[in-house]
Copies of this chain bind each other. A is one copy, B any other.
Amino acid sequence: MPETFDVGLLGHGTVGSAFAELLDARTEQIETTTGLRPRLSGVLTRSRGDFDEILAASDLIVEVMGGVDPAREYVLRALRAGKHVVTANKQLLSRHGEELWAAAREHGVQLRFEASVGGVVPVIRVLQETLAAAHIDRVTGIVNGTTNFILSEMARTGEAFSSALAEAQRLGYAEADPTDDVNGADAAAKMAILARLAFDTPVHLDQVSYEGIEQITPDDLEYAREFGLGLKLIGTAERIGHPTNEGRSGISVRVHPAFLYPGHPLASVAGPFNAVTIESPAITEITISGPGAGGPQTASAVLGDVISAMIPPASTPETSQRLPVVTDVASAFYLHLDVDDEPGVLAQVAAALGAHGVSVKSVVQKGLGDQARLVMVLHRVPERQFMAALDEIADLGFMRSRPRFIRVIEEEFGV
């Protein structure tokens, strides 16, 4: 029997229940990876469970209840009892982070909080580990998927804020009470946490100025198109040492709607996505993007933190799989043929393709004197079949040169 690793769960809403499910589904894999078998030692909700009992029975506490009270007290008591804590609670960390991080240091335990910012985007880990001791100039983020979805919808359909919000609610991208999302408060809490890590200085939520997107009109988005700009709710945390700031050196942390020039790394981030760009002289910039927080995504970030707390760093475990490496895969293809310009060419090429089960998606044919160029995009097909058709085509009498092809990666992979 392997040793167990007991996880106490505080909160059983969307994230909590998704976490319990994911932990259950991944138990075997986690045991293979870490050598320890994770086990849910108890669940605390408003109506059931006893915090003291759960604490005593756990190696690690997952806090996904949200809010400041009583989450703060529970997290502090867990850290002081020598238990690791994983939390998704941005409100708690942006208000009481220093107190909690100090408690974790004092008691030699881990306090992990990847799930508090950015959905599946692992920006906390990148700031704390990849860029540990790097000098960071600026962190720019789309850290609220609800508002990014609403702005994308307004840009796409031309509809007003209120209808785009209703659509977001219908699709589950906005809460019944969307206030903290649309007014920028949620993004402000996340930017406070990112600024703290990026600049190694205490940042409290109260120091972050924020504006929301409630005032944005379809007109604004139309003018944005005219000026060639994209409109996003942007969080910025940056060092300020500019002459216009009268030489004062410090940081600025703020959230507001902003137009982005088309080449900005965040300009193409559309829909309910999150993305963060980190700028530092040593690395130029890193951008990380992914879906914003839904229950399963947040649960996955929580689980990543739990597993990190279970294992010593940077061991690459022995492989547990012996998967065959397959070489005959299926692809869509672009096919480029230089041929004599004579009747029946397209028919013969199509027949050769058809004989091997290859079907044509689109064709462009161009005459070039007595020669023609036939360029096709073909539907996905096992490569072996395509290559057989290609051999047949290469032997056709009207071919002027060797056929050329390039694979096409399609929107639907169909694996």
Instruction: Give A residues with C-beta under 8 Å from B.
Output: 22, 26, 29-30, 32-34, 98, 101-102, 104-105, 110-112, 114, 120-122, 125-126, 128-135, 137-138, 140, 196-197, 199-203, 207, 209, 215-217, 219-220, 223-224, 226-227, 229, 231, 234, 236, 238-242, 244-245, 248-254, 256-261, 263-265, 268, 280, 282-291, 296-297, 299-301, 303-305, 307-309, 311-330, 334, 336, 362, 364, 373, 375, 377, 381-382, 404, 406-411, 413-415
Contacts and interface: CB of A to CB of B under 8 A. Distances in A.
A285 to B, nearest CB: 6
Contact of A415 (B137, B327, B404): B137
Give this chain's copy count. Answer: 2
A301 B132 CA distance: 10
B286 A200 contact: no
B323 A201 contact: yes
B304 A104 contact: no
Nearest to A31: B133
B286 A121 contact: yes
Nearest to A321: B201
Contact of A324 (B248, B265, B381, B411): B248
A280 B291 CA distance: 12
A261 B411 contact: yes
Contacts of A316: 101, 104-105, 111, 128, 197
Given A128-B316, A202-B322, A251-B325, A257 B406 contact: yes
Given A130-B301, A201-B319, A313-B110, A326 B250 contact: yes
Nearest to A315: B105
Contact of A240 (B240, B289, B301, B329): B329
Contacts of A305: 314
A279 B151 CA distance: 25
A302 B112 CA distance: 23
Contacts of A325: 203, 207, 250-253
State the main secondary structure of chain A at its contact with B: mixed
A216 B406 contact: yes
A135 B299 CA distance: 14
A124 B72 CA distance: 33
Contact of A200 (B319, B324, B414): B319
20 contacts: A98-B319, A104-B315, A105-B316, A105-B317, A121-B286, A122-B130, A125-B129, A132-B304, A133-B307, A199-B321, A200-B320, A203-B325, A217-B404, A227-B362, A229-B408, A249-B324, A252-B325, A258-B409, A259-B408, A265-B289
A392 to B, nearest CB: 19
Given A33-B133, A215-B404, A240-B326, 9 more contacts: A101-B316, A110-B314, A110-B315, A121-B286, A122-B125, A125-B130, A223-B375, A251-B326, A252-B326
B308 A406 contact: no
Given A199-B321, A285-B290, A286-B122, A327 B209 contact: yes
Contacts of A407: 256-259
Contacts of A217: 404
Contacts of A234: 409
A44 B220 CA distance: 60
Nearest to A241: B415
Given A132-B33, A227-B377, A316-B197, A288 B286 contact: yes
